Amino acid sequence: MRYAQGGGLTDAERAARERIRLQAVERFEGGEKNREIAVALRVSERSVERWRRAWRERGEAGVQSKGSPGRPRLGEAQIARLERELERGPLAHGWADQRWTLARIKTLIGRLFHVSYTVEGTWQLLKRHGWSWQQPARRAIERDDAAVEVWKKETWPRVRTPRWRATAGSSSRTKPGSR
């Protein structure tokens, strides 16, 4: 079974799988057949075939774990530089408005450090370093908040219609007064 990007394994799980592969190497050296190894280690024959091929081509190093695929690829100095560049704003980097999107930050990381992140990876990187998402308030530049508050308190109560009638009504369609 293949696990995308390490399958989300912890370091302990990754080490346990590596131990199984190293047990297979001992059995390769002992001359056992793939089927026997697969049964003994409770894995698929296909996995044993892959491990044997890697072992033949690169030795024991071919079956050892390559580590977590999710390691951060930017160092602390690079993160500090990224934060400085983000504080400069999108206009300084050639975008037409002042909104940082994950796609723009991803592009900026690629331009500055020649490292490729996914949009999701960019979001994880930012969260790890204390950044949070913010959505701009959709308000007109000309908006006067003080005038809006005065209107809500003084004008709105005078112009709104009451929700219910002041007198009792009837839901009967046959009553002449209801038409």
| Domain parsing of the chain, residue ranges | 11-62, 76-129
Kindly report, residue by residue over 67-87, the tens digit of the pLDDT: 766 656 788 899 999 999 999
Question: How many Cβ atoms from other residues are within 10 Å of residue 131's Cβ?
Answer: 15
Query: Rounded CA gap, 13 and 65, in Å?
Result: 11
pLDDT tens per residue across span 107-131: 999 999 998 888 988 998 898 888 8
Residue 48: Cβ within 10 Å count: 24
Nearest 5°: phi and psi at 57? -80, -40
The answer to whether the pTM exceeds 0.85 is no
Is the CB of residue 19 less than 8 Å from the CB of residue 60? Answer: no
Q: How confident is the model at residue 6 (pLDDT cuts 50, 70, 90)?
A: very low
